[in-house]
Structure 1
Amino acid sequence: MDWSSVQLRSLVELRRRGTVTAVAAALGYTPGAVSQQLNALERSAGVPLLHRVGRRVELTDAGVALAGHARQILDIEADATAALERSAGAVAGELQVALFATAAADILPVLLTTVRDRHPGLVVRSREMVVDDVYDAVASGTADLAIGLEYPDVPIRRDPSLRVVRLYRERFSLAVPTGSMSRSGPLSLAGTGPPLGWILPPEDTHYGQAIRVVCRRAGIEPELRHEVNDTAASLALVEAGIGVSTVTPLMLRLRPSRFDVLPIAETFERHIAVVVRSSAEHRPSVAALVQVLRELAKSG
């Protein structure tokens, strides 16, 4: 049978995500291109892999079976790539990195200049993504490495095929309009609320879940006034006196703003982490990039 890695990856992602549209978003293709890959794979397999249910397509039993083997084939391909790199004895080639917007603005420029100086044979390409999607990007093989976030109160679902390396920890503070709250020490979240409401990310995000867990543990239900997923937009609203939000040092570096930053009595933290496939962990190019990120985290 003659099939490509893209075809197999499309099948694996369809099993994982359930819709062609979701697969297209994850792989960076159009839905039409994903459908073409799946149709070509079906022709190569010689048996029906998909069947239509209303406006959606679902995997047949044969499709489910092949998806399981496809994951193994992709892992073997990754192992072969790592073996070839090790035999060459040099850090070279090309890596695709997925990362969230704040990391793209703050971490990526220093990472790229350091890699350029230290490993001139290594080409790094990047793709900005919604932070909660970067783990799936590595799992699916669309990214070799990802820079993401993990919240202790909402831990990442551990996949044995992935390795999560924590780089450093950030503690959240409270961003409030200038002069709106006067405190000599850490502020309990129980002391927030009307007349200032909260500016929060959606509850279906890891960050949104984590802040709500912390607030409820403190005995309050945050009064949501504005649901905003973009960090810069949240900070702009706080600066305008619209409400309060939580911030970390990395967030504050994204957009210089004029508001008060108050320490929080409750523990609310997140970890900046790098994610790689377990099969690629010892690939020289991947290991070199992880090492640079570790060094930057220590020096930052």
Structure 2
Amino acid sequence: MEWTSAQLRSLAELTRRGTVTAVAQALGYTPGGVSQQIAALEKSTGMELLRRVGRRVELTDAGMTLARHAERILATEAEAVEALERTRTEVSGTLRIGLFTTAAAEILPPALRHARERHPGLTVRSRDMDVDDVYDAVAGGAVDLALGLDYPDVPIPRDASLCVMPLSRERFSLAVPAGAMKGRTTVSLAAAAELGWILPSADSYYGRAVLTACRRAGFEPRVLHEVTDTAATLALVETGVGVSVVTDLMLRLRASRIDVIGLREAMERHIVVIFRSSAQHRPTVTALVEVLRTTVEAP
């Protein structure tokens, strides 16, 4: 029997996530691509690994058995990669990193420059993705590590298979149209209770974190525009159609004629790096984590 890591990972992820669509999202494939990986695995083993039950699919007994072994095979493969890296006299190899848009624009470029200077044998391949998907992407093996965001009010679920290392913390301010709160340098969130808001979906960690902070301040934000993209949010605030919350890193994405007012509430987000616990001593991973840490901490 012959199989690939991608085939085994697709099968293993199916036991965690339950649907081909969820596996595809976690691994960065299309649903058709996941189905092809499983089909190739079935051809190699000569056994049916999935069966259709109505509109769903479920693993057969053979599929469940192979999935359990797949986890151990993939773990052993990761150990072998780490052992091989340790035989080298310098940090070298290829790492895949997942990033949300702000990190891709503001953190990745200087991090790559520092990585080239310190570790010329290290190749970094990046993938832009939704910030709420980076945790699954690391857990599923679609990327080796990722930059993500964690909110004290809505913390990401902790998984023993993942390391979540804080890199920095950012405090939110209120972004309002120029002159909308003229003369005010610090306000409470409640000062914007009657204004229209520009926020991401309440299904996102960010959206839930802002909603939680507003409710704690005693009001329900009136969301006029549901927007995920930070640059688009800043453009809408500049146009005068609503307010939002921003951090210094977010403000660097777009030069905007808006007023930024301090908040009395300590509303924060934490920039974190996520990698698999099994890779925490892998030389390339520890090297890139250190590069990211010093890049984020740099003034």
Asked whether the two chains share a fold, i.e. TM above 0.5, the reply is yes
Q: Which residue of 2 aligns with 1:201?
A: 200
Using the TM superposition, give the Cα deviation of residue 44 of structure 1 relative to its aligned residue in structure 2, in angstroms: 3.1
Q: Which residue of 2 aligns with 1:91?
A: 91
Letter in 2 for 1:295: T
How far apart, in 2, do the equivalents of 1:128 and 1:92 lie? 23
Superposed CA offset, 1:246-288 (max 9, x none): 1001100011111000111112100111111111111111111
CA displacement, residues 203-237 of structure 1 (integer Å, 9 cap, x when unaligned): 11110111111111111111111111111111110
- The question of whether the paired residues in 2 share the 8 Å contact of 1:176 and 1:261 is answered with yes
Pick which of 42-51 and 202-211 moved more. 42-51
1:206 and 1:144, CA in 2 relative to 1: closer, same or farther beyond 3 A?
same
Cα deviation 1:119-141 (Å, max 9, x = unaligned): 11111000000001111111111
Which letter maps to 1:134?
Answer: V
User: More deviation in 148-157 or 176-185?
Assistant: 176-185
Q: How much has 1:297 moved relative to structure 2? A: 2.1
Calculate the TM-score normalised by the size of structure 1. Answer: 0.95
Alignment match, 1:238: 237
1:254 paired with 2:253, answer: yes
Native 8 Å contact 1:90 1:284 kept in 2: no
TM-score, reference length from structure 2: 0.95
Q: Is the partner of 1:279 in helix, strand or coil?
A: helix
- Superposed, 1:106-255 pairs within 5 Å as 106-182=106-182, 184-194=184-194, 196-255=195-254
What is the DSSP-based 3-state SS (H/G/I as helix, E as strand, rest coil) of the residue aligned with 2:256? coil
Q: Given that residues 27 and 142 in structure 2 are in contact (C-alpha distance below 8 angstroms), is that contact kept between their aligned partners in structure 1?
A: yes
3-state SS, counterpart of residue 179 of structure 2 = coil
Deviations 1:30-60 (A, max 9, x none): 3322211101222334433211123332223
Deviations 1:50-82 (A, max 9, x none): 111233322234433432332232122111101
Shift of 1:164: 0.8
SS of structure 1 residue aligned to 2:123 = strand
Hey, what does 2:4 align to over in structure 1?
4
Gaps of 5+ in 2: none
Quick one: distance in 2 between partners of 1:189 and 1:69?
Answer: 52
How many percent identity over aligned positions? 64
Once superposed, what is the RMSD of the aligned Cα atoms? Answer: 1.5
Residues 161 and 276 in structure 2, CA contact (< 8 A), matched pair in contact too: yes
Question: Would you say the 8 A contact 2:176–2:243 is kept in 1?
Answer: yes
Deviation, 1:183, is 5.2
Aligned equivalents of 1:258 and 1:12: distance in 2? Answer: 49
The CA deviation at 1:185 is 4.5
Matched residue, 2:50:
50
Q: Please give the residue correspondences for 1:282-297 in structure 2 after superposition, counting only pairs within 5 Å.
A: 282-297=281-296
Residue 24 of structure 1, CA deviation:
2.5
Q: Does the 8 Å contact 1:6/1:37 carry over to 2?
A: yes
Opposite residue 43 of structure 1, the aligned amino acid is: K
What SS does the aligned partner of 2:187 have?
coil
Task: Please tell me whether the aligned partners of residues 193 and 220 of structure 2 are also in contact (alpha carbons under 8 angstroms).
Answer: no
> How far has the Cα of 1:115 moved from its partner?
1.0
The amino acid across from 2:205 in the alignment is: H
User: How many corresponding residue pairs?
Assistant: 299
Report how far residue 27 of structure 1 moved: 2.3
Q: Which moved more, 1:13-22 or 1:257-266?
A: 13-22
Please tell me the residue identity of whatever aligns with 2:96. Answer: Q
1:104 aligns with 2:104: yes
- Greater Cα shift, 35-44 or 89-98: 35-44
Residues 1:265 and 2:264 aligned together: yes
Q: How far apart in 2 are the matches of 1:204 and 1:97?
A: 24
Cα offset for 1:17? 2.9
